[in-house]
Amino acid sequence: MWGRADYMDKIVVRGGTPLQGEIVVSGAKNAALPLLFATLLTDEECRLSQVPKLVDIHTTLRLLRDLGVQYDWLNEHEVALSSRLVRCFEAPYELVKTMRASFLTLGPLLARFGRARVSTPGGCAIGARPVNIHLDGMQRLGASIRLRQGYVEAEASKLRGAYLPLEFPSVGATENLLMAATLAEGVTIIDNAAQEPEIVDLALLLNAMGARISGAGTSRITIEGVTSLHGANHVVIPDRVEAGTFLTAAAITSGDIFVRGARADHLAALLQTFAETGVHFSVQEDGIRVTGNRRPCGVNITTLPYPGFPTDLQAQLMAMLSLGVGHSTITETIFENRFMHAQELVRLGADIHVQGNIATIHGVTYLTGAPVMATDLRASVSLLLAGLAAQGETEVSRVYHLDRGYERIEEKLSRIGARIRRVKGS
């Protein structure tokens, strides 16, 4: 069942087969989550299509349902939502701790109903991940914020437009504040805003709902508040992280994969890295093809906010560079503690040394299958990629992380030749 990740499930891959064929990208998880929360801003029906069937989407729908939102799947990937009867304004710890994006209930609830009680996310495997930028922005919009018993309690009889300079271009804070500002009185300017394609997608839906937003996709977003929003239909953008993962799968297995739906404009930093490492790719109208016919050269990568190299593709690239020629470095600047996959890759024979936020990778000529453990969403897929390239069998445990962000990944990969199977936990 798509909404339930089994804690004990494992994925077993037998490596060494070049992957070949076509793979279709699903809708973007990181776009769909804020879009689903945005429907809280109106009492009219909204329809979202290309919504991926993932555990995080299931968690979001569960949270929305608990708030009083009614929803219906119209077909495999299209959902209709109505927030007419919202009667609860709380996102509980049990859900927020499993999915940090639940914190995105704060902006819409506060803007439409004047109050919200949302658990703080707490720590997670990839670092502390505080919410101070969200809260500072909400206060500038006129909300009173109280932190009590692990919850943020926010109130505002009416939000007022304000100048919101962000100390860091946080994706989640930009989304939360963008949603809140749509119904504020007057003009809001978000400066040093995140520029990710998912922000642009959110602004597109909000504008289709009657909001007045300009500048999304740049570092300065201007929002002219309106008194109410209405229903709208929207198609979620393709998942650039999933697309980048499949493109990397072609490179690491010396395969030949056409990734239908991959958008070069969303993947410029990855393609630039491919160009520097000598990985051959061609950009086509409806997707991108990678032909991995030789070991990639070493390269130095630094993760940065968009349009820089995405932290969500860092682990996958580390797997690829483990099999590169010469040495590479990866500097992680977005999250602390996001190198936990490195030690697992070492178990497969990679030569990686981590010091602080810099990983140095000396390319080796082959990896060997071994049991490894997934520690977070992107780490788990990097182990899968390494396993697909390794000699012998790799068993990845704790794959419930994978189910949060990759739709039917075993099925998609096996269609292009991967020898991969899920083993039910015991």
Residues near ligand UD1 (CB under 6 A) = 30, 33, 100-101, 127-134, 168, 170-173, 198, 311-312, 334-335
Smallest gap from residue 334 Cβ to ligand UD1 (A): 5
Smallest gap from residue 54 Cβ to ligand UD1 (A): 11
Pick 81 or 334: Cβ nearer ligand UD1:
334
In the DSSP assignment, the letter for residue 391 is: B
Residue that the structure tokens 């037998």 belong to: 14
Smallest gap from residue 317 Cβ to ligand UD1 (A): 14
Q: Quick check: 127 and 335 in contact, CB under 8 A?
A: yes
- Residue 124 appears among annotated catalytic residues: yes
Residue 128's Cβ-count burial label (10 Å; 0-12, 13-18, 19+) is exposed
Pick 277 or 303: Cβ nearer ligand UD1:
303
Distance CA 253, CA 231 (A): 45
- For the chain, the distance separating the N- and C-terminal CA atoms, rounded to the nearest angstrom, is 17
Pick 177 or 209: Cβ nearer ligand UD1:
177
Distance CA 399, CA 396 (A): 7
Show the CA angle centred on residue 197, arms to residues 69 and 276, nearest 5°.
Answer: 145
Pick 101 or 319: Cβ nearer ligand UD1:
101
Distance CA 355, CA 371 (A): 24
Residue number with the smallest Cβ distance to ligand UD1: 172
Whether the bond between 108 and the residue before it is cis, its omega within 30 degrees of 0, is no
Smallest gap from residue 198 Cβ to ligand UD1 (A): 6
Amino acid identity, residue 201?
Answer: D
Pick 129 or 280: Cβ nearer ligand UD1:
129
Pick 170 or 291: Cβ nearer ligand UD1:
170
Smallest gap from residue 30 Cβ to ligand UD1 (A): 3
Sequence-distant (6+) residues with CB within 8 A of 149 are none
Residue that the structure tokens 């404009």 belong to: 265
Sequence-distant (6+) residues with CB within 8 A of 108 are 37, 38, 40, 41, 179, 180
Smallest gap from residue 284 Cβ to ligand UD1 (A): 27
Q: Quick check: 392 and 15 in contact, CB under 8 A?
A: yes
Point out the catalytic residue in the list 46, 88, 124, 297: 124
Q: Which residues are catalytic?
A: 124
